[in-house]
Amino acid sequence: MGACPKIFLFSQYRRLMSFSPCSLPNRPKKSAILISSPLTNRPVKIGIGRPRKKNPAGIGILLLLIIVAAGGAYAWHEYDEFFSVPTSRLDAGDFYQEMPPDEHHHYLQIPLDHGNPSQGNFTAFYLLSPGFSSGRDVIFWLFDNQQERVGMINSSADFEYFEEILRGQSYVLMGNRGVSPTLFPEVFNKDGSTNYSRALRLYGSRQQVEDIEAVRQDMQRKGLLPEDGRIMLYGGSGGGFLVQQYLDRYGEHVSRAMIECSGAPDLAALHNTTFMKETFLSDESLANSYFSLMQNGSDTASLAFMLYKIGLAGDVQLQNLIVSIRSGTPSLEGELAYITAWLNPANNFPLVRRMLDAPRELEVKVRVYELVGDDLESYHPASAQKVCLGYEWIKVILADFLKAHEGGKIPVTKIQLNRSSYDGEVMIWSAAFDQVFSEQMGKWMRELYPHARLAIFSDSHERRKDPEYRREFRKAFFQHGLYSPEVQAYFDDPRQLNAAEKV
């Protein structure tokens, strides 16, 4: 055999052995070979022991770390995008990849500023319900900008919420200006700061009313509406006031309208009260306890927000349990209730406040400022009777808008509506335990619309009770009319509390 380079075996026993690689002797299990490098003439250590067994646990941990890292990177990307100022809008003729145009997804061009069409258009969209029937009666379901309900909807699962309310009827959902993905770079200054005047003008509800009319006209041109082009309207809470705003402007195009658990800032001002219900009217004990905390100098905005959110579902017992803990009445049950409520992201005010500071949430602030800015200007409760939980946290959320108003950059919004001129039918629903809008607000609306009826239910603002009964009640109204026997049967049901509407 030819000469072989000299190789040394470095065993686990630290012994050096000389051998030829052409005939390797038996080696200890854990060993290595030292060879002379032809480049450096330095010994190089090469492991030649048995292959190590794979470690499943180690591989699993490595994969987990990779997944966590990838998830963290994605989360940071989404976070960064969420808090970045929008720089572009959808081009004319383009569409969102998640919602390609089809029989249920429609796109159209709408003026950026209806008061100044020369500023150009933006690409808007609207969606038709799963069972939409062209040429038949159509319900326009309106949401205002603080509700943020209509986004990327491209499957039957995305329609589940809407179908629970208006199943079996033809309805339209519209993507609102200012609500993602329809964002306007124009409402921000070059340095990324908010242009409050422009935001109020372009994201305001007056523009949204004109958008609704533009959609109605587009549907009429496409033959999607009845021959007379008339529609029906439906909305709850802030969307219910948007219904009132559209009726004031384009009531001649509406045959019927339904308003659920809503209010009206102009009616509140007319009757020298607040748009949102004062807490004392819902629960005297809660208002007294909260006011005491205010007097003690406690930072109560977070507490007010939590109590407000819990109140949407009408849970008075939980509200009082939590406020008792903050008032210094210890109990294990109360502590657990408070911690559980605080851990719910929807009740966590610091988190919600941070989210609402994002540029893409600006439209929420615009709408809330429209509705309550006038009230907040004079909101300084001197007694428990004047406390409003909603205003307690909203004044913190809108601090930048209120500062802009104080600096003369923007006015407070004054909305005045003429309800007596609308000749169509109006169904109004109120909830006896609604902590956001008073039952009296519904009564004032009924008095002003010439053809209106008021139903009252033993429920909260979220209207969770008897969903099937409510759904069929709505359906009877939209299909048969306000004074039909079908509707009267639901008024006569014991779950409807307004005795004046019973036979």
446 falls within a domain: yes
Beta bridge partners of 496: 457
The residue ranking higher by pLDDT, 1 or 114, is: 114
pLDDT at 393 over 80: yes
- Shared domain for 110 and 256, answered yes or no, is yes
- Shared domain for 314 and 375, answered yes or no, is yes
Structure tokens at 189: 């200054």
246 Cβ contact partners less than 8 Å away, ≥ 6 residues apart? 142, 209, 212, 213, 233, 254
pLDDT at 304 over 80: yes
Instruction: Residue 299: give the domain boundaries.
Output: 279-406
- Shared domain for 256 and 118, answered yes or no, is yes
- Per-residue pLDDT band at 438 (split at 50, 70, 90): very high
User: Would you call 102 helix, strand, or coil by DSSP?
Assistant: coil
402 falls within a domain: yes
d(CA 426, CA 255): 9
d(CA 235, CA 244): 9
265 falls within a domain: no
d(CA 108, CA 121): 9
Averaged pLDDT for residues 58-67: 81
Locus of tokens 């069929």: 472
How many CB atoms neighbour CB 423 within 10 A?
Answer: 12
Burial of 83 (0-12, 13-18, 19+ CB in 10 A): middle
417 falls within a domain: no
Percentage, residues of the chain above pLDDT 90: 76
Averaged pLDDT for residues 53-63: 73
Helices (H) and strands (E) in the chain, counts: 17, 12
Read off the pTM.
0.85
70 falls within a domain: no
- Shared domain for 317 and 458, answered yes or no, is no
Averaged pLDDT for residues 420-429: 98
344 falls within a domain: yes
- Shared domain for 160 and 200, answered yes or no, is yes
- Shared domain for 110 and 250, answered yes or no, is yes
Q: Which of 53-62, 143-152, 184-193, 209-218 has the lowest mean pLDDT?
A: 53-62
- Shared domain for 33 and 152, answered yes or no, is no
pLDDT at 108 over 90: yes
pLDDT at 20 over 70: no
pLDDT at 173 over 90: yes
- Shared domain for 158 and 226, answered yes or no, is yes
User: In what order do the strands lie in the sheet containing 31-36?
Assistant: 16-19, 7-11, 31-36, 43-47
22 falls within a domain: yes
Question: What is the pLDDT at residue 264?
Answer: 98
- Shared domain for 239 and 305, answered yes or no, is no
Question: What is the pLDDT at residue 50?
Answer: 53
Question: What is the pLDDT at residue 36?
Answer: 42
d(CA 140, CA 230): 11
- Shared domain for 399 and 430, answered yes or no, is no
Question: What is the pLDDT at residue 73?
Answer: 78
Query: Buried b vs exposed e over 356-391: b needs ≥16 C-beta within 10 Å?
Result: bebbbbbbbbbbbbbbbbbbbeebebeebebbbbbb
d(CA 466, CA 276): 25
96 falls within a domain: no
pLDDT at 55 over 80: no
pLDDT tens digits along 490-500:
999 999 999 99
- Shared domain for 284 and 253, answered yes or no, is no
- Per-residue pLDDT band at 377 (split at 50, 70, 90): very high
Question: What is the pLDDT at residue 297?
Answer: 76
Question: What is the pLDDT at residue 79?
Answer: 67
d(CA 417, CA 214): 21
- Shared domain for 155 and 206, answered yes or no, is yes
Please, what is the average pLDDT of the chain?
88
The residue ranking higher by pLDDT, 54 or 1, is: 54
Locus of tokens 């402007």: 249
The CATH number given to whatever domain includes residue 247 is 3.40.50.1820
Asked if 36 contacts 42 with a C-beta cutoff of 8 angstroms, the reply is yes
Averaged pLDDT for residues 328-334: 84
The residue ranking higher by pLDDT, 329 or 255, is: 255
d(CA 131, CA 171): 9
In total, how many domains does the chain have? Answer: 4
pLDDT at 8 over 60: no
User: Would you call 88 helix, strand, or coil by DSSP?
Assistant: coil
